[in-house]
């Protein structure tokens, strides 16, 4: 009996370690590497992102929507070369995720967040099952932040205000979309993608691919 308890304890310890070890994900793109951290506080989004990365779901997909001083968006399976789709932004894995909006996580530069349909069609603010965006944004002096605090329904902490003032971001999205991670390295890659020339529907004229995602221990 003691042996069985020991084996079970060892199994759960290993399982717990693996969950922690898989918090970081390497996103290899055609213009450089990005490493993101997935938040434990948004478990459904974290588990889903890990699952899709393991399956190779994101491999060969594009950053199909890029807006300077705002964000870069990817994760649409219809953007794979084999799909040959001209209209991008509507693809997904066939399901959505419940919102996990947490005011401790803001849309600072480098924030990893889930794309979704607008409130009129999606009042519960459920997230796309695969599409995500990484924030580029711009800097906001603290005296302009009251209106964003009102929109999100909670005041900003001093640390959050300082982050928007020094690092920047997109505070108008706070409280509206699920932020489930952040960039640990590769912000320069985000910078480079965000200023690329775009055509219709904000698609870069030069394709930027996600080559592969890899879980980091």
Residue 10 lies in a domain: no
Residue 16 lies in a domain: no
What total number of domains does the chain contain? 1
The answer, as to whether pTM is greater than 0.85, is yes
pLDDT at 179 over 50: yes
Q: pLDDT tens-digit profile of 74-130? A: 999 999 985 656 679 899 999 999 999 999 999 999 999 999 999 999 999 999 999
Residue 2 lies in a domain: no
Residue 153 lies in a domain: yes
Within 10 A of 179 (CB to CB), how many other CB atoms are there? 25
pLDDT at 182 over 90: yes
Percent of the chain with pLDDT over 70: 87
Residue 7 lies in a domain: no
Structure tokens at 118: 């607008």
Confidence grade of residue 194 (pLDDT, cut at 50, 70, 90) = very high
Q: For position 166, what pLDDT does the model report? A: 97
Q: For residue 60, what is the enclosing H or E element? A: none
Residue 13 lies in a domain: no
Q: For position 81, what pLDDT does the model report? A: 83
Confidence grade of residue 14 (pLDDT, cut at 50, 70, 90) = very low
- Mean pLDDT rounded to a whole number for the chain: 90
Residue 27 lies in a domain: yes
- CATH number, domain of 48, equals 2.40.100.10
Q: 3-state class of 201 per DSSP?
A: helix
Percent of the chain with pLDDT over 90: 83
Q: For position 193, what pLDDT does the model report? A: 97
What is the CB-side half-sphere exposure of residue 103 using CA atoms within 13 A? 12
Domain hosting 106: range is 22-216
Residue 8 lies in a domain: no
Per DSSP bridges, beta strands 179-185 and 32-38 are antiparallel
């Amino acid at each position: 009996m003691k042996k069985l308890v020991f084996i079970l304890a060892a199994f759960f310890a290993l399982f717990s370690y693996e969950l922690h070890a898989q918090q970081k994900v390497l996103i290899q793109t055609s213009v450089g590497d990005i490493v993101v951290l997935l938040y434990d506080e948004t478990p459904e989004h974290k588990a889903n992102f890990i699952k899709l990365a393991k399956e190779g779901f994101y491999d060969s997909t594009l950053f199909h929507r890029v807006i300077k001083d705002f964000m870069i968006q990817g994760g649409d399976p219809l953007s794979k070369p084999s799909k040959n789709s001209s209209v991008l932004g509507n693809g997904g894995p066939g399901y959505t995720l419940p919102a996990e909006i947490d005011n401790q996580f803001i849309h600072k530069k480098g924030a990893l967040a889930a794309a979704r349909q607008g409130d009129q069609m999606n009042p519960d603010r459920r997230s796309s099952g695969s599409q995500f965006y990484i924030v580029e944004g711009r800097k906001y002096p603290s005296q302009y932040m009251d209106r964003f605090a009102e929109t999100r329904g909670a005041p900003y902490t001093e640390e959050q205000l300082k982050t928007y003032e020094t690092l920047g971001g997109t505070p108008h999205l706070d409280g509206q979309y699920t932020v489930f991670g952040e960039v640990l390295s590769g912000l320069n890659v985000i910078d480079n993608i965000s200023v690329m020339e775009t055509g219709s529907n904000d698609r870069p004229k030069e394709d930027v691919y996600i080559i592969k995602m890899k879980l980091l221990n």
